[in-house]
Amino acid sequence: MIWLIGNKGMLGNDVEKLLKERELIYWASDKEVDIGDYKALEKFGKDKKIKWIINCSGYTDVDKAEEEIDEAFRINEDGVRNIALFSAKRQIRLIHISTDYVFDGRQEGTPSYSEDDKTNPINIYGKSKLAGEEEIKKILEKYFIIRTAWLYGLQGNNFVYTMIRLFKERDLVKVVEDQWGSPTYTMDLTGAILKTMEDDSVSYGIYHFTNESITNWYEFAMTIYKKAKRLGLIESNKKVEIKPIKTEDYPTAARRPKYSVLSKEKIKKVFDLKLRDWDKALEDFLVSLRDNREDLESRVEK
């Protein structure tokens, strides 16, 4: 009934976990069924009764995309077009994940972005993701595009793991303080994705989903440090100075929006969802790492 694309990625892994837990019938694929190849999609989907596709796959390396422009567009635009075409042909409803990087970022303290706000990506990744959104809108009527931001979860590289590793290795960690957003725990987003399906919703369109409340990378890092220390994920006698720096002092290949906070009013209202604050979700994630030490060690230790 469900085809989960990108099940080996950070988000896809948690989506698969919840599909299993809820005993839903699904098929799953990742890179072995290349979304850039329409024939590969047809071959995999042949003879399968599919009602929903959840697409968690994508080209997600924001900095590398500045060099690998063709590959970023091959996956995030052409691949998404293929999924949309396949969905249209087979009358499948599509849930696709997109990003806050379709926006250029506003001044700090200005209102958060609603789904109808003007997009204007400032890096290749954002441009390729927006191109994918446009393909879906052109081809399909029955779609949900869920834009999210600052994702972290058990599987894959993410900011939380990077910070814990640096806190173990270094005495000084510098973190950017002038980029604002809302972190998102993959488990929380997964809950929203499954709610869309379980409601059998026909309220198609674009939605925004992150955890609640706004922060910057520096404050996010400080909170990870304090919580990780309290939970024993970092040695209690290890002192680390965390220093706020400006974006100019931390050059990266891709430019990033300064203030890309997404408004969640629409998704909360339509799906009657209650969203948690990012620090509550982070606490849950860190507790699960404490209770499954081997997950943390395999991600953080070299």
Q: By beta-carbon distance, which residue lies closest to ligand NAP?
A: 9
CB 55 within 8 Å of CB 7: no
- 190 makes contact with ligand NAP (CB under 6 A): no
Of residues 34 and 188, the one with the C-beta less far from ligand NAP: 34
Quick check: is 26 catalytic? Answer: no
- 71 makes contact with ligand NAP (CB under 6 A): no
Amino acid at 64: K
Q: Which of 4, 28, 56, 139 binds ligand NAP (CB under 6 A)?
A: 56
List residues bridging with 96 in a β-sheet: 55, 145
CB under 8 Å to 130, separation ≥6 — which residues?
98, 102, 119, 121
**CA 50 to mean position of chain CA atoms:** 24
Please list every residue from 204 through 233 that binds ligand NAP, using CB under 6 A. none
- 45 makes contact with ligand NAP (CB under 6 A): no
Query: Nearest distance from residue 235's CB to ligand NAP, in Å?
Result: 28
Query: Any idea which residue has 């002092």 for tokens?
Result: 249
The CA distance from 236 to 246, in Å, is 29
| 3-state DSSP assignment of residue 88 | helix
- 148 makes contact with ligand NAP (CB under 6 A): yes
CB 225 within 8 Å of CB 162: no
Please list every residue from 81 through 140 that binds ligand NAP, using CB under 6 A. 97, 99, 129
Pairing of strands 172-176, 93-99: unpaired
CB under 8 Å to 295, separation ≥6 — which residues?
154, 288, 289
Determine the size of the site formed for ligand NAP (CB under 6 A): 26
Query: Nearest distance from residue 171's CB to ligand NAP, in Å?
Result: 28
Q: Which of 15, 16, 19, 36 binds ligand NAP (CB under 6 A)?
A: 36
Residue in 125, 143, 185, 207 annotated catalytic: 125
Q: Which of 2, 11, 242, 261 binds ligand NAP (CB under 6 A)?
A: 11
The CA distance from 55 to 85, in Å, is 13
Interface contacts to ligand NAP, rule CB under 6 A: 6, 8-12, 30-31, 34-36, 56-60, 75, 79, 97, 99, 129, 148-151, 156
Indicate which residues carry an active-site annotation: 125
